[in-house]
Amino acid sequence: MEWKISDNPVEYEGALAAMDARVAAIHEGGADDLVWLLEHPALYTAGTSAKRDDLLDERFPVFTAGRGGEYTYHGPGQRIGYAMIDLKKRQQRPDIKRYVFDLEAWIIGALAEFDLAGERREGRIGIWVNTDAGEKKIAALGVRVRHWITLHGVSINVNPDLSHFSGIVPCGISEYGVTSMKEVLGRDVSTADVDAALKKSWAAVF
């Protein structure tokens, strides 16, 4: 199991190519599982279920992603965790739904390190928190599986410009807002602290 942390923003197409290469290497037996923590420049990605009407303002580059889900924003202040994991080695019977459940638990555990209560919602993908303005989404998930090896992963809103989400209907859900760790906590959280929480929570879940 390997961890990789990128301190500088990673271009989206380069990240896709790197994930593809790592999955191929894992499949061929020459590489370990990898969790890659990084940040992207401001952009939108369209998952396999994206609806064109949900792209409201094409203010940033739009990329087609092979992951499941709809439109998502990525940008500065958001921590992304891409997981390339061989499910055949980690699960007695490979189960994508169980893997998604575990990814949710990974985020919930990391948020708990900051006394944030992240929660699942039936029928709504992602992790949610209760705020004074109602429940809002603080983290998103989108996965793809090839040869039972996972690609893509999760994104946690640490301190992004939340106005950037207004260019899309995030994950096709218009009736609930989006928030960040900074907005809920009322203080800055360092990327290093988030990374440490993600590593700790990963060990507990996986």
The active-site residue out of 171, 184, 194, 198 is 171
* Biggest CA-to-CA distance, the chain: 50
- Closest of 198, 98, 93, 200 to residue 154, by C-alpha: 198
Could you tell me if 129 and 138 are in contact, meaning their C-beta atoms sit under 8 angstroms apart? yes
Phi then psi for residue 177, to 5 deg, are -85, 180
- E strand intervals along 67-163: 71-74, 78-84, 119-121, 124-131, 134-146, 149-157
Could you tell me if 60 and 164 are in contact, meaning their C-beta atoms sit under 8 angstroms apart? yes
Element (H, E) at 34: strand 34-38
Could you tell me if 178 and 193 are in contact, meaning their C-beta atoms sit under 8 angstroms apart? no
Catalytic site residue 171? yes
Q: Catalytic residue numbers?
A: 171
